[in-house]
């Protein structure tokens, strides 16, 4: 089976069960500023899982573009990719466990659909905790469709699914497929890596609040996720997605360019293929991100530069990313037309970034070699590699670990900060939430901006998201994605909504989370932050949450009366609101 066939089967199956097919949302989250990229199919659908009405109804099915960078080090193994596609079917307060499980089983095992042998399947279900009962219902449902007792394992937190720390969540049941060469053992052991997880049905019936309480949602949802890459490999009996049509054309081209064999350079070629594919999707996204030293741009830069370095390692001479990008666009452009539309941008950005880095890579590696005998890479040296040779910190760490030596990260961060202060390159301003002016009126406008951001989504459309923001003592300016002019009534509704929340006098709370937690959310460590081991998120009651450096008022009533002055176009698909507080 190839990828288009698997996708088609999935969509057809759920269509036959009354689901509407919806397109993938952008890779860049529009309603959750706490993650840099969508890490799961559910993220763009959060407003609907929380009770918002979806225009296409209560049963949806889709293929969502996702990107995860937590597992950077595992890229190259058999089961991880940075960019991947998630097949998902959704019940928004419609069907629940019975249909979800029966349909999962039918899709996997029925002759008409995937026709996988039941003897190679196993499942996990939730063992329960103090808020959520043990999932006996799912257990019984799996038994009734024909999964034997010894192939069902009750598990703890692995079977409670939440994207990050707060929001819609619930117990899950995961399906595993036996990939070992021998016959599948009768007793299922979820820790045996030969059992590969292919599908996750989450019963999203809860909402986790900032204070840690878990309360029932007003509706019971189903969120399922089947990783296309992984599942395709598994059902084809292939070792990994790299052996499937999703990657083979890219890998073949890498073989040609390097005049080496995939079989002898497996890990490096996989990394190059994974990273170029991810980079093409990021730059080609409808909300494009370009290489930079902060936020998403930095993740992109790391992907590109790491691909370039591995390219050199497998012996490719000269620039090669554009050649590979062409193959990615050719392979995926029919399903993701944005790649075709943005083809020139993709090629130009990749070419520029590769030439910039290509020029210094060789010299930088040479410099690095000279540092190795010192037994450790000092902060100053890591910064030198960053500043003069364009080595992302993580690349230096990777090079160092290949040599079994350490990098002084703290020292690097200190250097980075010092340099930033000296050069005032403006980089600081690019870090999210950095306000140049923090006079009281600017602070009030800043919190008003967060409310406006959320209000637009609540009142106008959940697809709206921030494109830019600028605050002076005179006014706030907020750019957001939307196709058309707001009507005067809509403008008024947004204004009223902000003022309603102002009056509620919600507390504004800042939470610092360890980088680890933020990484779990899918956020990448930003080494330019003031608190390098922490990131900060601002919550306005449970109305809004944004990844932000502040500062903000302590309670929304301090904002005063919010007034929209103007709503206008900035560019195609981008609108701008100017507003004041009185
Ligand atoms: N949200 C769940 C996951 O990402 C199911 O889609 O695994």
Cα 39 to ligand 1 centroid, rounded to whole Å: 9
pTM over 0.75: no
Helix (H) or strand (E) holding 226: strand 214-227
The pLDDT value given to residue 15: 98
Structure tokens at 55: 């225009």
Question: Per the omega criterion (within 30 degrees of 0), is the bond before 70 cis?
Answer: no
Residue 234 in contact with residue 246, Cβ under 8 Å? no
Number of C-beta neighbours around residue 340 at 10 A: 14
Q: What is the pLDDT of residue 31?
A: 52
Nearest CA to ligand 1 atom 3: 225
The response to whether residue 41 sits with its C-beta less than 6 Å from ligand 1 reads: yes
CATH topology of domain 3-241: BirA Bifunctional Protein; domain 2 (3.30.930)
Our measurement of the distance from residue 556's CA atom to the centroid of its chain's CA atoms, rounded to an integer in Å, reads 30
What does 445-493 look like in DSSP terms, one character per residue? HHHHHHHHHHHIIIII-TT--EEEEEEETTEEEEEEE-SSPPPHHHHHH
Q: What is 440-581's CATH number?
A: 3.30.980.10
Distance in Å, CA 202 to ligand 1 centroid = 7
Among residues 28, 90, 8, 172, the alpha carbon closest in space to that of 465 is found at 28
Query: HSE-up of 17 (CA within 13 Å, CB side)?
Result: 21
Q: Measuring from atom 6 of ligand 1, which residue has the nearest CA?
A: 225
CA 443 to centroid of ligand 1, rounded, Å: 37
Residue 436 backbone dihedrals phi, psi, to 5 degrees: -70, -40
Say how far apart CA 445 and CA 65 lie, in whole Å. 34
How close is the Cα of 92 to the center of ligand 1, in Å?
A: 15
Is residue 479 within 8 Å of 467, Cβ to Cβ?
Answer: yes
Q: Is the dihedral of CA 540, 544, 548, 553 positive or negative?
A: negative
Atom of ligand 1 nearest to the CA of 202: 5
Provide CB contacts within 8 A for 100, sequence distance 6+. 89, 91, 201, 203, 222, 224
**No. of helices (H) and no. of strands (E), the chain:** 18, 18
CB contact at 8 A, 247 and 235: no
What residues form DSSP beta bridges with 130? none
* Spatial distance between the Cα atoms of 335 and 324, rounded to a whole number of angstroms: 18
- Sign of the alpha-carbon dihedral angle for 197, 199, 202, 203: negative
SS3 192: coil
pLDDT of residue 472: 77
pLDDT at 437: 55
Testing ligand 1's pocket by substitution, the residue of 64, 172, 198, 231 carrying the most ligand atoms inside 8 A of its CB is: 172
- Give the pLDDT confidence score for residue 431 in this predicted structure: 31
Name, in order, each residue with C-beta under 8 angstroms of 418's C-beta and a sequence gap of 6 or more.
none
Q: Give dist(CA 572, CA 509) in Å, integer.
A: 35
Instruction: Tell which atom from ligand 1 comes closest to the C-alpha of 42.
Output: 1
User: Phi and psi of 130, rounded to 5°?
Assistant: -75, -20
Dist CA 330 CA 332 (whole Å): 6
Distances from the Cα of 313 to the Cαs of 144, 261, 266, 303, 306, in angstroms? Answer: 53, 13, 12, 15, 10
Q: Indicate which residue's Cα is closest to atom 4 of ligand 1.
A: 40
168 lines ligand 1 (CB under 6 A): no
Domain boundaries, the chain: 3-241, 247-429, 440-581
Distance 87 CA to ligand 1 centre (A): 10
Domains 3-241 and 440-581 belong to one CATH topology: no
Residue from 126, 199, 202 to probe ligand 1 pocket by mutation (most atoms less than 8 Å from CB): 202
Closest CA to 509 of 481, 551, 468, 467: 551
Which residue's CA is the closest to the ligand 1 atom numbered 2? 225
User: Are 432 and 482 contacting, i.e. CB atoms less than 8 angstroms apart?
Assistant: no
Residues of the chain short of pLDDT 70, as ranges, are 30-34, 70-71, 420-438, 515, 518-519, 521-536, 549-550
């Amino acid at each position: 089976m190839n990828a288009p066939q698997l996708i088609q089967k999935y969509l057809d199956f759920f269509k036959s069960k009354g689901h509407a097919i919806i397109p993938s949302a952008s890779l860049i989250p529009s309603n959750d500023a706490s993650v840099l990229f969508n890490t799961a199919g559910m993220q763009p659908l959060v407003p609907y899982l929380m009770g918002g009405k979806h225009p296409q109804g209560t049963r949806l099915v889709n293929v969502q573009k996702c990107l995860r960078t937590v597992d950077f080090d595992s890229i190259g193994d058999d089961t991880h990719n940075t960019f991947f596609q998630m097949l998902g079917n959704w019940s928004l307060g419609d069907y629940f466990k019975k249909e979800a499980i029966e349909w999962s089983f039918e899709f996997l095992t029925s002759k008409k659909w995937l026709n996988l042998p039941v003897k190679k399947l196993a499942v996990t279900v939730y063992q329960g905790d103090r808020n959520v009962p043990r999932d006996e219902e799912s257990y019984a449902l799996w038994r009734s469709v024909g999964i034997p007792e010894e192939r069902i394992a009750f598990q703890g937190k692995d079977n409670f699914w939440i994207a990050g720390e707060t929001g819609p969540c619930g117990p899950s049941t995961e399906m595993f497929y036996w990939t070992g060469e021998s016959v599948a053992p009768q007793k299922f052991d979820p820790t045996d890596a030969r059992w590969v997880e292919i599908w996750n049905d989450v019963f999203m019936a809860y909402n986790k609040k900032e204070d840690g309480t878990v309360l029932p949602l007003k509706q019971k949802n189903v969120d399922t996720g089947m990783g296309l890459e992984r599942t395709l490999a598994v059902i084809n009996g292939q070792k990994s997605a790299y052996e499937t049509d999703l990657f083979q054309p890219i890998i073949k081209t890498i073989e040609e360019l390097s005049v080496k064999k995939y079989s002898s350079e497996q890990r490096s070629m996989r990394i190059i293929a994974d990273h170029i594919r991810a980079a093409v999707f990021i730059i080609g996204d409808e909300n494009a991100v370009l290489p930079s030293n902060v936020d998403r741009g930095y993740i992109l830069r790391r992907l590109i530069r790491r691909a370039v370095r591995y390219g050199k390692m497998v012996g490719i001479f000269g620039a090669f990313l554009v050649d590979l990008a062409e193959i990615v666009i050719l392979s995926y452009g029919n399903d993701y037309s944005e790649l075709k539309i943005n083809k020139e941008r993709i090629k130009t950005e990749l070419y520029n970034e590769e030439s910039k880095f290509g020029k210094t890579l060789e010299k930088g590696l040479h410099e690095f070699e000279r540092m190795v005998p010192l037994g450790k890479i000092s902060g100053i040296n890591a910064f030198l590699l960053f500043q003069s040779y364009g080595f992302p910190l993580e690349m230096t760490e990777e090079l160092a670990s290949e040599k079994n030596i350490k990098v002084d990260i703290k020292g690097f961060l200190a250097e980075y900060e010092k340099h930033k202060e000296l050069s005032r390159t403006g980089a600081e301003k690019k870090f999210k939430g950095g306000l140049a002016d923090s006079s009281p009126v600017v602070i009030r406008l800043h919190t008003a901006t967060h409310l406006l951001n959320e209000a637009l989504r609540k009142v106008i459309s959940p697809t709206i998201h921030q494109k830019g923001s600028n605050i002076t003592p005179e006014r706030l300016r907020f750019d957001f994605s939307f196709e058309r002019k707001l009507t005067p009534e809509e403008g008024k509704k947004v204004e009223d909504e902000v003022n309603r929340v102002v009056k509620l006098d919600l507390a504004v709370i800042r939470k610092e989370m360890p980088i680890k937690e933020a990484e779990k959310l899918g956020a990448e460590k930003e080494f330019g932050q003031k608190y390098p081991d922490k990131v900060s998120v601002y919550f306005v009651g449970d109305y809004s949450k944004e990844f932000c450096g502040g500062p903000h008022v302590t309670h929304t009533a301090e904002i005063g009366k919010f007034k929209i002055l103007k709503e206008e176009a900035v560019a195609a698909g981008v609108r701008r609101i100017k507003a004041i507080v009185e």
